[in-house]
Chains A and B, each alone.
Chain A
Amino acid sequence: MIDKSALGAVGAPFELDVERGKVHEFARATASSHPAHFTGDHPVIPPTFLTTTFFWEQLVADSNPWHRVKMSPERGMHAEQEYVFHGPPPRAGTRLTCQSRIAEIYDKQGRRGGTLTFVVMVTEFRDASGKLVAEARMTGVETAQAPTESS
Chain B
Amino acid sequence: MSVRWEELAPGSEPIPLMLGPLTRTDFVRYQGASGDMQPIHHDEPFARAAGYQAPLAVGMYHAGVLNTWATNWLGPENVRRTRVRWKAQAWPGDVLECGGTIARKYEENGERRVDLELVCRRRGDGQTVIEGWMTFVVPA
Task: Please give the residue numbers on chain A whose beta carbons come within 8 Å of chain B beta carbons, in ascending order.
Answer: 22, 25-32, 34, 36-37, 44-48, 51-55, 74, 77-85, 87-89, 137, 146, 149-151
Contacts and interface: CB of A to CB of B under 8 A. Distances in A.
Interface in B47-63: 50-52, 59-61, 63
Contacts of A29: 29-30, 32-34, 61, 64
Contact of A31 (B19, B32, B51, B84): B19
Interface of B: 17, 19, 29-30, 32-36, 50-52, 59-61, 63-65, 67-68, 70-72, 75-89, 122, 125, 127, 134
A-side binding surface: helix, strand, loop or mixed?
mixed
Given A30-B61, A48-B60, A89 B79 contact: yes
Contacts of A151: 88-89, 122, 125, 127
Contacts of A28: 29, 33
Contacts of A137: 83
A78 B77 contact: no
A77 B84 CA distance: 14
B34 A54 contact: yes
A36 B88 contact: no
12 contacts: A45-B76, A47-B64, A47-B71, A48-B64, A74-B50, A78-B60, A80-B86, A81-B63, A82-B81, A89-B77, A149-B89, A151-B122
A25 B34 CA distance: 9
A32 B71 contact: yes
B110 to A, nearest CB: 14
Contact of A150 (B35, B63, B89): B89
A65 to B, nearest CB: 18
B87 to A, nearest CB: 8
A46 B89 contact: no
A89 B19 CA distance: 25
A120 to B, nearest CB: 12
Contacts of A81: 60, 63, 83-84
B38 to A, nearest CB: 9
A44 B77 contact: yes
Nearest to A58: B35
A54 B83 contact: no
A116 B72 CA distance: 36
B89 A79 contact: no
